[in-house]
Structure 1
């Protein structure tokens, strides 16, 4: 019985640790690097961003979601800990929030825009800001 309790406590403690982003494939990492060409990280990752400041989103494979900021100068990269189904042609990302912010831990669902079929979902991670580099 003691072993069972200790095992349960160890499992609960493991669930409280910070999750690292999913390891991206080499192809997905290359896609992300191509998307970020001409940009540099402009600050530390933040846990929430205002939904007013987001124009659109796209994915770089299943390991990263790129959110376009309020201007073409700003991007936010989100790397969900468990990955996220890829956004491609005819797919959209839907989030449900109770505030005006999108935050780490919010659930995003990927669905087909024609059939409304869900492909899956993911828990969002931190948002890393990037700013376009002036040449």
Structure 2
């Protein structure tokens, strides 16, 4: 009885494959985009003059190009003036050098886009 059932199952599976054809490869998922990142969830940051501002939040890396802000550099950081504890699209951030406290100016944040860890510049 088991052999007959197995044959019927194999026949049904092969017929289903013949009718539908092989499975198409899954399309790559669109990267997640956010308007805001919760400041308390940020576990790491990285800055690049060419690529923008990167944060690790919730186990994922996000990039903010901040309108191509040229003030971002590897040895710099930012100050935010958010009263809601988030860094959001449209927020002004002040770029400064933490060791000297020298201020370089302000940049406006854009949307946050998820990126693979391999695209985050190394320190």
Same fold (TM over 0.5): yes
- The match for 1:81 is 67
* Partner Cα separation in structure 2 for residue 51 and residue 42 of structure 1: 24
Give, in whole Å, the separation in 1 of the partners of 2:77 and 2:57. 17
Deviations 1:70-118 (A, max 9, x none): 33xx1010011252412323x2211120102210011111112232110
For residue 66 of structure 1, what is the aligned residue in structure 2? 54
Q: Which has the higher strand share?
A: 2
Spell out, residue by residue over 1:26-77, the C-alpha distance to the aligned partner (whole angstroms, 9 max, x if none): xxxxxxxxxxxxxx97634211121122112112224411112233xx1010
* RMSD, aligned CA: 2.5
Instruction: Say which of 41, 55, 62 aligns to 1:53.
Output: 41
* Runs of at least 5 residues in structure 1 that lack an aligned partner in the other structure: 1-39
Q: TM-score when scaled to structure 1?
A: 0.57
5+ residue gaps, structure 2, are 1-27, 119-123
TM (normalized to structure 2)? 0.61
Q: Larger radius of gyration, structure 1 or 2?
A: 2
Q: How many residues align?
A: 91
Given that residues 52 and 68 in structure 2 are in contact (C-alpha distance below 8 angstroms), is that contact kept between their aligned partners in structure 1? Answer: no
Query: Using a 3 Å threshold, how does the CA distance of structure 1 residues 118 and 81 change in structure 2: closer, same or farther?
Result: same
Runs (4 or more) in structure 1 with deviation over 2 Å come to 40-44, 86-89, 130-133
